[in-house]
């Protein structure tokens, strides 16, 4: 008779795996991808492909020749970093900048810490912030959405709604006078507004989020706390002075809030482990987003807010441990 395997219990294992989770995330990004390709056309496809291929390429080089460990470029995580990085840059960004962003995302954001699972900061956001600081001009020209655009040059561009409002307030204009300059909310909800490739359609991103929730890839805490606190903090300011502060709905449908709250802040590697930790982290992200959007130098604050909160995750994990069974007993 052949030998028997002897191992500790349990003897059954879930069929979930790291790559199943990663490919689940990619699947959920399809609606957002379709909307962006519709509005930003071939340019968006090119940027996305470039980012994905460069992220996989750089991860391969680093794993094979620098770390000399196993190569895991098909586990899906490098592909996600590529797609997410592409989705938060303008569609007309020169492709060589996309390559540099990918190098920074994978290199500085992920591999320096030891690869998947070890990084402190969300790699795609590290890449984006690096590009934003290095190439402020190119990173601030957003093409205007055009259906089925095949144009690659001479694209009509303009500021994002967030930039319009920020600029206007700085000039002393009143919010109600500025709103006609931005698309209607329903249009913005669908994604018909200036912005990064994949962040524009709140609806498409929410659809992806619902899919991830159903597959239990993410949980409700972080997106709810993040979006909810943006709404509440923006709402408080708006109620104080509706002429200086734009209404909270505007904050929900513009910029990178949805993609940030649903895809970036929920990155499992860089977010807290316990339910209350996640809520605190989500509220922190929301609070910082509003502070930066309204009082900071940049029109958009989602990326910085998440990166700052990423740094607090180890502290949050120690401060907010899960409620234990039999810890505080209330027996009636």
Partner 1 sequence: MKTFKLGGVHPPENKISKQAAIQELPVPETVSIPISQHLGVPANPVVKKGDTVKTGQLIAKGEAFISANIHASVSGTVQKVDNVPDTSGYRRKAIIIKTEGDQWEEGIDQSKDLIKECGLSAEEIVKKINEKGIVGMGGATFPSHVKLMVPQGGKAEYLIINGVECEPYLTSDHRLMLEKAEEILTGIRIQMKALHVEKAIIGIENNKPDAIAHIRKLLPDYPGVSVQPLEVKYPQGAEKQLIKALINREVPSGKLPIEVGCVVHNVGTAYAVYEAVQKNKPLIERVVTITGKSLKQPSNFLTRIGTPVSTLIEAAGGMPEDTGKVVNGGPMMGKALSNLESPVTKGTSGVLLFSKQESHRKVVHNCIRCSRCTGICPMGLEPYLLALLADHHRYEDCEDNHIMDCMECGSCLYICPSGRPLLDHIRNGKAETGKMIRSRSQ
Neighbours of 186 (CB within 10 A): 10
If one asks whether residue 180 binds partner 1 (CB under 8 A), the answer comes out as: no
Token reading at 331: 């027996």
- Residues contacting 279, CB < 8 A, separation 6+: 221, 222, 225
Task: Give min distance, CB of 226 to partner 1, in A.
Answer: 16
If one asks whether residue 329 binds partner 1 (CB under 8 A), the answer comes out as: yes
Pick the binder of partner 1 from 12, 133, 170, 297 (CB under 8 A). Answer: 12
Segment interacting with partner 1 (CB under 8 A) among 88-96, 114-122, 176-184, 194-202 = 114-122
Instruction: Report the largest interatomic distance among the alpha carbons of the chain, rounded to a whole angstrom.
Output: 86
Task: Give min distance, CB of 276 to partner 1, in A.
Answer: 11
Instruction: Give the length of the chain.
Output: 332
Number of residues that bind partner 1 (CB under 8 A): 43
Pick the binder of partner 1 from 20, 27, 49, 291 (CB under 8 A). Answer: 20
If one asks whether residue 321 binds partner 1 (CB under 8 A), the answer comes out as: yes
If one asks whether residue 69 binds partner 1 (CB under 8 A), the answer comes out as: no
Pick the binder of partner 1 from 157, 181, 244, 274 (CB under 8 A). Answer: 274
- Output the CA–CA distances (angstroms, integers) from residue 328 to 194, 271, 276, in the order listed: 52, 27, 16
Task: Give min distance, CB of 330 to partner 1, in A.
Answer: 8
If one asks whether residue 68 binds partner 1 (CB under 8 A), the answer comes out as: no
- Residues contacting 274, CB < 8 A, separation 6+: 317, 320, 321, 322
Sign of CA dihedral 71, 117, 216, 24: negative
CA atoms in the 13 A half-sphere facing the CB of 18: 12
If one asks whether residue 118 binds partner 1 (CB under 8 A), the answer comes out as: yes
Nearer to partner 1, 66 or 273 (CB): 273
Pick the binder of partner 1 from 34, 177, 242, 323 (CB under 8 A). Answer: 323
> Using an 8 Å Cβ cutoff, are 261 and 222 in contact?
yes
The contact set with partner 1 (CB under 8 A) reads 1, 4-14, 16-18, 20-21, 75, 114-118, 219, 268-275, 321-327, 329-332
């Amino acid at each position: 008779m052949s030998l028997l395997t002897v191992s500790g219990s349990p003897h059954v294992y879930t069929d979930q795996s790291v790559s199943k989770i990663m490919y689940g995330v990619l699947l959920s990004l399809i609606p957002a991808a379709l909307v962006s390709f519709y509005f930003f056309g071939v340019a968006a496809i090119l940027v996305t492909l470039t980012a994905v291929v460069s992220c996989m390429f750089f991860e391969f080089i680093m794993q094979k020749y620098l770390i000399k460990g196993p190569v895991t470029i098909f586990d899906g995580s490098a592909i996600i970093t590529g797609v997410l990085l592409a989705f938060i840059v303008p569609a007309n960004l020169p492709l060589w900048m996309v390559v540099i962003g990918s190098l920074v995302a994978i290199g500085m954001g992920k591999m320096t810490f030891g690869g998947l699972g070890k990084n402190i900061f969300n790699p795609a956001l590290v890449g984006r912030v690096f590009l934003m600081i290095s190439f402020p001009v190119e990173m601030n020209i957003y093409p205007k959405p055009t259906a089925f655009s095949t144009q690659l040059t001479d694209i009509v561009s303009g500021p994002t709604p967030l930039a319009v409002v920020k600029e206007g307030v700085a000039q002393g204009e009143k919010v109600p006078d500025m709103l006609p300059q931005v698309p209607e909310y329903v249009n913005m909800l669908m994604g018909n507004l200036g912005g990064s490739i994949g962040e524009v359609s709140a609806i498409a991103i929410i659809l992806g989020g619902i899919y991830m929730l159903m597959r239990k890839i993410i949980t409700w805490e972080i997106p709810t706390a993040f979006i909810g606190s943006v709404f509440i903090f923006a709402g408080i300011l708006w109620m104080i002075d509706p002429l200086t502060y734009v209404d909270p709905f505007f904050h929900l449908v513009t910029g990178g809030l949805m993609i940030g709250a649903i895809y970036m802040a929920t990155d499992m590697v860089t977010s807290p482990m316990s339910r209350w930790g996640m809520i605190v982290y989500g509220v922190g992200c929301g609070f910082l987003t509003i502070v930066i959007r309204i009082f900071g130098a940049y029109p958009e604050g989602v990326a910085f807010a998440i990166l700052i909160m990423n740094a607090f995750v180890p502290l949050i994990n120690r401060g907010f441990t899960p409620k234990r069974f039999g810890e505080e007993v209330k027996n009636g």
